[in-house]
A and B are shown apart, each in its own frame.
Chain A
Amino acid sequence: MTSESPLAIELVDVWKRFPGVVANAGATLSVKKGTIHAVLGENGAGKSTLMNILSGVYRPDEGQVRINGEQHWFHSPSDALASGIGMVHQEFRLVPSFTVAENIVLGASEKIIRRSLIEKEVEQIAQQFGLVIDPTRPVWQLSMGERQRVEILKTLWRKAQILILDEPTAVLTPAEADELGNVLRKIAEDGRTVVFISHKLHEVTAFCDEATVLRGGKTVASTLKVEEVNESDLAGLMVGSSPMISERPPYQEPGEAMLTIEGLGTLDDRFLPAVKNLNLTIKSGEIVGIAGVSGNGQREMAQAIAGLRPITSGKVTISGKDLTNAPPSERFTAGLGYVPEDRLGVGLAPRLTVTENAILRCYKSLRKSIFLVSEQAVNYCKEIIDRFGVRTGPIDEPIAGLSGGNLQRLLVGRELSGNPKVVLAAQPTRGLDVQGVKAIQDLLIDERAEGVAVLLISEDLDELLTLSDRLLVMHEGEIVKEFDPANAHRHEIGAAMAGKRDES
């Protein structure tokens, strides 16, 4: 460690397990006082869990939390706040009908509160850090950026010396994000410490002093000086190098075009362009991999192809059939199997039984007039379970009891059971254990052998390099480069993920 400034935060060898998942497996973090420190990692890398441990929401199974050199064992967020740690969560925790000042004082320990005094204090702090806001305005009138300022003010008013911001720029426009960067700099110059969670590389290099990279719950690089690294290095560190599991399938000549996407455009949840003029053709018997730092339009692209997000421009065709405006069920019948990124809650309905989830795609064909024939449903479900090796309890019990790997087998099995021509798999192995990863990867390889066209979106670079016949890199809603997985270099892929374009 350098001697220039003392450490404000030290997390040492932190472990946190949840049922079926190890969220943190020996993560460490050291942050110097008065700096802005980025915590980087893909979704599921354990960033949020680690920050929730730091801010007292979770208690670690093992490991130490030291603040200013002193060991702490927080029992609650208010415990952590008492030690000067404030967190700005992704989801704001504000009462819309209250004013800014009322929200800031809400939950404070003072018994008697003078409104004018609070408003003055808030005004003062706001001015000091350049957080322009009127403390008397009700929160419902504020934009997302302004609401975030209220959250930051809340922690500053409570005298937090350490501020944790969980993906703060996810809700902001680029201009607002730049402004946030200036605010954070002022906060750090005031001698406070800022922890900035993100997976947007350019923000990290623009705003932060040092960075720690998490992958699979572990710290893979700690206290990197941001000046000394570039975005491609960071991208390379973030994406996985999980143990290679499935064998690279033998070469096979691809057949005719199955999925054709021409000039696809779609918007994200804030109605900003997420995918721009994307062209892609996948042939029968071919796996095309999509790499990219998450948040670059992969999710929106998959949803647009699956029919869950309106297509603003372009055309989607499956084996010659135009499905641009077709509802999701029609796409399934036309031969599109879709394994969504969010398994529970999109792909599977959590409170329904195994059988009810198994027939989600085909229940209309199991009808006899208005009735659902339960024998047929049960047989259909048993077929999926047998063919794809899903281990379940009784199939008339809610799926909540299944492990992550078996949930995914059920979901993938169901999508493959319609004998699709095209399979769209978004993060199909994320968060699964070794066996689960292999099972799902093998299923995709089998489908390829049977002549199915597979579009694989993944954050695991090894998975992409192993399975794909072609590897495309997505950046800011566009495909910036294509690689031949057999001869690709990791650092070149990393550079493309950071936005370096294909010159040729």
Chain B
Amino acid sequence: MKRLVLVRREQSLRGGQPLSFLIGLVVALLAGILLLVASGHNPLEIYERLFNSSVGSSNAWAKTLNRAVPLGLAGLAVAVAGSMGLWNIGAEGQILAGAMMAAWIAQIGEGWASPLLIPLMLIASILGGALLASGPGIARAQIGVNEIITTLMLNEVALRLLQWLIHGPWKDPESRGFPLAPLLADEARLPKLFGRAHWGVIIAFLVIAFFGFIVSRTAWGYELKVAGSSGATARYAGISLNKKIITVMVLSGGIAGLAGGIELSGTSDRIVEGVSGGYGFAGIIVAALALMRPSGVAAVALIFGAVQVGGLSIQTLGVSSSVSTILQALILFGAIGAGVFNRYSLKSVKREKKGGST
């Protein structure tokens, strides 16, 4: 009997990334054909729409980029914590906290000019996310409370706070009973870059590049990676962990908070219950697919964004949302997951079967 096992390559394939991406994509699309045919669709028509709606025009690119922004920032938040071996599962709540803080500043600063108001909103959003993540960071550093649980639970706290705001104090009097906050004033909205794509794209790209650089090129980032690889090695090298844990959680929360601020000011234009759009949880997937490397987050987020935009669009052709979701997952894991073969090779080994005597 034979079985397949993954064997670590002596060294990674150089420059194999684009190739594995293409091969993985093709395999995923081929598998998707089966899925689409089985569910009674014309694969060609669906794939054409999938492509056109996500990257086929400047309008499509705008949608994809706008989606990639919160995905990338949330992914970065998770990856920054992850490079130290910490799990921030609370990006979703931190996004909400950031959005609420930004909305609050927008209310206070009614009538202020954009160049003043928008930076203040974004700074507030960073503070909001950072504040929400600081608690888990301090608890982890000082008394060893597992940050996975605390960050996860704070998601709920942030969500309830937001629900209270939009059902109560912030409820838009003109919303005809719907739980919505009022629309932001024009000054509080991020200017457009092209089409519907807003300046958040540039901000997110810079933030991701900045942290990618910090983690891979500075002594501080090096200490982070040592600590993430093994706490005992970090102590051996004289790296103190406690302060770093708090700093990293605050930064991670701040990044997620910024995603909330940008999402509010650039896309949703008002606080509603779904303002975080599940990006916080999707960010965990983005970070995992980027192998927890901050520098890899941007590319993954872009692909993720495109797949999401395309996946929504094909539903207008009658593809059910579940089939669309399966297709999205196929493409995502096919295209990005194939990268594993850059580091591992597939070998078939004989299954040891000796039974009775030797």
A: which residues have CB within 8 A of B?
A: 59, 62-64, 71, 73, 306, 308, 327-330, 332, 338, 340, 342, 345-352, 356, 359-361, 363-364, 366-367, 370-372, 374, 393-394, 397, 400-401
Task: Identify which of B12, B223, B229, B352 gathers the most chain A CB atoms within 10 Å of its CB.
Answer: B229
In the assembled complex, the CB of B31 is this many whole angstroms from the nearest CB of chain A, namely 31
The answer for the CA separation of A397 and B342 in the assembled complex, in Å, is 12
Can you give 15 A-B contacts (C-beta < 8 A)?
A308-B235, A328-B236, A328-B237, A328-B238, A329-B238, A346-B232, A349-B226, A349-B233, A349-B234, A352-B225, A360-B226, A360-B233, A360-B237, A393-B10, A401-B8
In the complex, what's the smallest C-beta–C-beta distance from B225 to chain A, in angstroms?
6
Known: A342-B232, A367-B219. 6 other contacts (CB 8 A): A328-B235, A329-B238, A330-B238, A347-B233, A356-B225, A401-B11
In the complex, A327 Cα to B357 Cα: how many Å? 57
Contact pick for B226, options A306, A356, A370, A393, CB 8 Å: A356
B112 adjacent to chain A (CB < 8 Å): no
A350 adjacent to B229 (CB under 8 Å): yes
Residues on A with beta carbons closer than 8 Å to the beta carbon of B242: none
State A503–B283 Cα separation when bound (angstroms): 68
In the assembled complex, the Cα of A64 lies from the Cα of B352 at a distance in Å of 15
Q: Is the CB of B358 within 8 A of A64?
A: yes
Least CB separation from A377: chain B residue: B222
In the complex, the answer to whether B219 meets A372 with C-beta atoms within 8 Å is yes
Assess whether A340 is in contact with B219, with CB atoms less than 8 Å apart: no
Chain A nearest Cβ from B236, distance in angstroms? 5
Please report B residues at the A interface, Cβ cutoff 8 Å.
8, 10-12, 217-223, 225-226, 228-230, 232-238, 352, 354-358
User: Given A330-B238, A346-B236, A356-B222, A71–B230 Cβ distance below 8 Å?
Assistant: no
Q: In the complex, which residues of chain A have a beta carbon less than 8 angstroms from the beta carbon of B221?
A: 372
**Measured CA separation A62–B230 after assembly (Å):** 35
Pick from B218, B237, B354: contact of A371, CB below 8 A: B218
**Partner among A73, A340, A351, A356 whose Cβ is within 8 Å of the Cβ of B236:** A340
Interchain CB contact (< 8 A) of B219 among A342, A349, A352, A363: A363
Given contacts A59-B352, A308-B236, A328-B235, whether A349 and B229 have CB atoms under 8 Å apart is yes
A374 near B236 with CB under 8 A, answer: no
Residues of A within 8 A of B218 (CB): 370-372
Q: How far apart are A78's CB and chain B's nearest CB, in angstroms? A: 19
Q: Determine the chain A residues whose CB is within 8 A of the CB of B234 once the complex forms.
A: 349
Docked-complex contact B238 and A345, CB < 8 angstroms: no
Note all chain B residues with C-beta closer than 8 A to A361: 237
Of all chain A residues, the one with the shortest Cβ separation from B85 is A351
Whether A397 and B11, one on each chain, are in contact in the complex, defined by CB atoms closer than 8 angstroms, is: yes
Closest to B234 in A: A349
- Give bound CA distance, A422 to B253, whole Å: 44
Of chain B, the residue at the smallest CB distance from A394 is B11
Distance A347 CA – B233 CA, assembled complex (angstroms): 6
Complexed CA–CA distance, A86 and B12 (Å): 42
Whole-angstrom distance between the alpha carbons of A370 and B218 in the complex? 6
Inter-chain contact B233/A346, CB cutoff 8 Å: yes
Contacts of A363 in B (CB 8 A): 219, 222-223
- Nearest A residue to B238 via CB reads A329
A352 to B223, CA, bound (A): 11
Contact A374 B226 (CB under 8 A): no
The smallest C-beta distance from A229 to any residue of chain B, in angstroms, reads: 32
Chain A residues near B238: list those with CB within 8 A: 327-330, 332
A366 to B222: give the CA distance in the assembly, Å: 12
Closest to A306 in B: B236
Contacts of B352 in A (CB 8 A): 59
Please name all residues of chain A whose beta carbon is closer than 8 Å to the beta carbon of B226 when the two chains form the complex.
Answer: 349, 352, 356, 360
Determine the residue in chain B with the shortest Cβ distance to A364. B219
Q: Which of B218, B235, B238, B357 has the most chain A CB atoms inside 10 A of its CB?
A: B238
Q: Which B residues are in CB contact (< 8 Å) with A401?
A: 8, 10-11
Chain A residues, Cβ within 8 Å of B222: 356, 359, 363, 372
- Between B8, B11, B235, B237, the greatest number of chain A beta carbons within 10 A of the residue's beta carbon is seen for B237
